[in-house]
Amino acid sequence: MKLESDLKPHPRKWRLDAKQTVRRAIDYRPIELDDVKYAWAAYKQGALKEMGFAESLSPEEFRTAFSASILNNCHAAWTIFGTTKKGFIPSGLLLAVWGPGSTFLTVLGIAWMPWASKRNIVECTVGFFEGTRKEFSFMGYATHDHKKVYDVCRELGIMRRIGTSYTAIPGTAAAVFETRKPE
């Protein structure tokens, strides 16, 4: 007979060292034109709906619209690579703009590819912010659904939560996080 306490899920304990959390290889680089083919595959599987692309674009129309969207709306964009079941391939795209005074980058969004597992998402997020916080300061807004991955970064000392915004994402409260400079 199981006890009631055995039926409750136990919270995940992340290792308090980013190198231990990111056991598998990850990498990131500024987005390149060759990465559009991965964005196209993600678009066809519905992963880029939040970017506002029409539902029935041809490959060439998508390439033009995606490139224009990145060039016109972002100051920085990275492709994040992770070890997936399909190999070491792009797992996500991170888009950012400079904040007031150009002292930090505000994360516009992170688009995860449909083939990225939850483990890939955590590893790639931790690895990206751990690697880039030496060069850039980031600020990100997370809804309740996406807050957990930022909480892992907070537990590892990569980010800190600085408050809640009720205006950054219309219609919902968003937790506000910023990267911490390494000591």
Per residue in 42-77, pLDDT tens? 888 887 777 777 678 888 998 998 999 899 999 999
The answer to whether residue 97 sits within a structural domain is yes
30: burial class by Cβ within 10 Å (0-12, 13-18, 19+)? exposed
CA distances from 74 to 8, 143, 146, 152, 161 (A): 43, 21, 21, 26, 24
Q: What is the CA radius of gyration of the chain?
A: 17
Per residue in 113-162, pLDDT tens? 989 999 899 999 999 999 999 999 999 999 998 899 999 999 988 999 99
* CA 68/CA 64 separation, integer angstroms: 6
The answer to whether residue 146 sits within a structural domain is no
The answer to whether residue 169 sits within a structural domain is no
For residue 98, the domain's CATH number is: 3.40.630.30
Question: Could you tell me the residue range of the domain that residue 71 belongs to?
Answer: 17-136
The answer to whether residue 168 sits within a structural domain is no
- Residue 16: is its pLDDT beyond 60? no
The answer to whether residue 132 sits within a structural domain is yes
Could you give the percent of the chain with pLDDT greater than 70? 86
The answer to whether residue 181 sits within a structural domain is no
The answer to whether residue 177 sits within a structural domain is no
The answer to whether residue 39 sits within a structural domain is yes
- Residue 93: is its pLDDT beyond 60? yes
Average pLDDT over residues 76-84: 93
Number of domains in the chain: 1
